[in-house]
Amino acid sequence: MLVSILIISGLVAVTVVIHYEMLRLLWVYIPTLKMKHRLRVIIGVFGTICAHIIEVWIFGLAFYLMISYGDFGTLEGRFDGSLTDAVYFSFTNYTTVGYGDIEPGGQLRFLAGMEAITGLSLITWSASFMFMEMMRFWEE
């Protein structure tokens, strides 16, 4: 259990740092663009979506590796053991959609819960960032 807690803590830390660095990069880079503010906002939206996709893939890869090379649990239901299905589960979990067609078992349940709360936090952070970004250029 200690190993899974360390892995999960590392995953959360890595994804939060990736998100912070992406938002910081966008905050610095977007104002330097010589274009209408609407296009700058769109670049901000796509930038944050790219960060989320990277973070989902990191969690999905972790699910896949923890199932394939460790005794951490399983993904049950319509899971075929592929990386694609692990990333699909990660997308539904990160966004807290949770279709229920794939369910975690064993220690992976803790990773699934931590991914959901991390995803929720990072998605709301992105929404706050985009609101601030829109306010910065609203008067143009």
In this prediction, residue 60 carries a pLDDT of 98
Q: DSSP labels for 100-135?
A: SSEEEEETHHHHHHHHHHHHHHHHHHHHHHHHHHHH
The answer to whether the beta carbons of residues 44 and 130 sit under 8 Å apart is yes
Q: Is residue 32 part of a domain?
A: no
Residue 77 lies in a domain: yes
Question: Which pLDDT does position 133 carry in this prediction?
Answer: 86
CATH number for 6: 1.10.287.70
Tally of domains in the chain? 1
Q: Summarize pLDDT for 85-108 with one digit per residue, the tens.
A: 999 999 999 999 999 999 999 999
DSSP state of 75: E
By percentage, how much of the chain surpasses pLDDT 90?
88
Q: Report the alpha-carbon angle 24-29-31, nearest 5.
A: 115
**Count of residues for the chain?**
140
Confidence of residue 36 (pLDDT cuts 50, 70, 90): confident
Q: Judge whether 115 lies within some domain.
A: yes
